[in-house]
Amino acid sequence: MASSDRDKEELFARLSIEEINPGTFFGKWTKSKNTSMIKSYSPIDGSLLASVTSTSPSDYDKVILQSEKSYTEWVEIPPPKRGSIMLKIGQALRAAKEDLGMLVTLEAGKTISEGKGEIQEMIDIADFSVGLSRQLEGLVIASERPWHRMMEQYVPLGPIGIISSFNFPSSVWSWNAFIAAVCGDTSIWKPSSKTPLAAVAITKVLSRILEEEGAPQIFSLVTGSGEEIGSRMAADRRIKLISFTGSVQSGKKVSQLVSERLGKSILELGGNNAAVVSDNADIDIALKGVAFGALATAGQRCTSTRRVIVNDRIYDAFIKKMEKIYRDLPVGDPRKSGILVGPLIDESAVRKFESAISEAKRQGGKLLAGGTRASINGGKGFYVKPALIEAKPDMEICKTETFAPILYVFKYHAIDEAVRIHNSVPQGLSSSIFTRDLLESEYFISHRGSDCGIVNVNTGTAGAEIGGAFGGEKDTGGGRESGSDAWKNYMRRQTITINYGKELPLAQGVEFKI
């Protein structure tokens, strides 16, 4: 790699990552009898970072049993005390932010800023969970019967499973695990096989804090393929909830397995996010918002901007400026200063990028900029020049999410037309409109407007804050995680009725005399 092997070795030593790592943690690390290895390659130059042992079937069962045991201990700890332990976890992540951020950069190909930003997001959700630990509220409900009180409370679920994706190899896990922890749950993490090292390193940081605090090991780790380990988790009745982040196709399989056992699931699936740019927009803000949304993480965010719908009165001028941004875009080694777009995750992602561009051309799209491989690091790594494509909204390729930096551009004349174009895809995660017109912005956020779970005005589709509930509609899955009241997903609701009188009146005036 561009940095010396010694730099990598020193980083791994600080994070306690050995060259060959056990990939199973259930209160202790174990090198599985399974001979299958997960090799983690850096997309920066294709080099092997390290190998992780896949979880064996017998070790998988040990993980579940340990998670159940830890739950019986953890649930007895009062929520504010759980919060104080999460405070220590947040502090430990702050101390390790630089190293963990660099590991995310090496393994996922994010820029230095984005790598550290992902760890900051974990810190933020840890802080959020500390406050939440003292705000797990219920309700008192008016009863129609005299001498009766009705209440509603939330009770922890038990062990939950979290199956995360490569593009956010740490933060999205924490959205679930940290909130679930203060609710009283334990969690079992299956990271993407493309980015297992970040999960190993983070688990080591957190397990050390739990040990120091005398707390049960509430965070477990399993590694392996989605087809083997992920499917087993989805079908396992002992795991009370599955939170899955990934493709629509994989999410449907997970949903089916969980539904067959009448389990709970949170699904964060595909996004095909669009930004509407009005002729009333601040063009500089719109350009930056659209560019960041389309190009951050090399277009490998579920919230990446994949379509931009531009008013016909400013279309030519706006697209001309976008073309210049794409022509001058600094693509390269994400560890270098000034680089905005790093590599795609692997060769398969590059091929899908190329295939989508070919298909867009076949369907009548016009390539305005980019759209080819980029020779970086002497041809090593998985770099492309982000594509800007003029297209028609009814092109099938525009209704499909390609997890790569491809931005389709359309024209519109009136706001209702823009919304129809916006809502014409199966996915419904994130959306945005750039306008200084109050009526347009209100239309877009009303029931007539965006059909997405996330709606933005004068900011891009990407870059959600942890304070709001994150999730989408339609093929995106309908799940919600992170902030707001998403914590309720990790608990079960109970309605309680207490009769403190000397008689037994029945609801609805029913009489039953014996």
For 261-309, the DSSP string reads: TT-EEEEE----EEEEE-TTS-HHHHHHHHHHHHHGGGG-STT-EEEEE
Full domain range(s) for residue 441: 273-469
Give residue 380's pLDDT.
93
Q: Are residues 103 and 155 in the same domain?
A: yes
Overall number of domains in the chain = 2
Q: What is the largest CA-CA distance in the chain?
A: 89
| Nearest to 428, CA basis, from 399, 463, 408, 403 | 399
Among the options 268, 401, 440, 481, which is catalytic? 268
268 is a catalytic site residue? yes
Cα(316)–Cα(308) distance, rounded to whole angstroms?
13
Q: Are residues 124 and 249 in the same domain?
A: yes
What residues of the chain score a pLDDT lower than 50?
1-2
Q: Are residues 185 and 316 in the same domain?
A: no
pLDDT tens profile 16-54: 887 668 899 999 998 777 778 999 999 999 999 999 999
pTM above 0.85, yes or no: yes
Q: Are residues 177 and 243 in the same domain?
A: yes
Query: Do the beta carbons of residue 40 and residue 97 sit within 8 Å?
Result: no
452 is a catalytic site residue? no
3-state secondary structure 87-138: HHHHHHHHHCHHHHHHHHHHHHCCCHHHHHHHHHHHHHHHHHHHHHCCCCCC
Whether 200 is covered by a domain: the verdict is yes
Give residue 19's pLDDT.
65
Query: Do the beta carbons of residue 293 and residue 308 sit within 8 Å?
Result: no
> What is the domain-level CATH number for residue 292?
3.40.309.10
Among the options 107, 118, 121, 302, which is catalytic? 302
Q: Are residues 84 and 154 in the same domain?
A: yes
Whether 173 is covered by a domain: the verdict is yes
Q: Are residues 250 and 310 in the same domain?
A: no
Residue 106: φ, ψ to 5° = -65, -40
Q: Are residues 236 and 128 in the same domain?
A: yes
> What is the domain-level CATH number for residue 141?
3.40.605.10
Whether 12 is covered by a domain: the verdict is no
Give residue 298's pLDDT.
97
pLDDT tens profile 82-134: 999 999 999 999 999 999 999 999 999 999 999 999 999 999 999 999 999 99
Give residue 1's pLDDT.
45
Q: Are residues 319 and 368 in the same domain?
A: yes
Whether 253 is covered by a domain: the verdict is yes
Whether 43 is covered by a domain: the verdict is no
Whether 503 is covered by a domain: the verdict is no
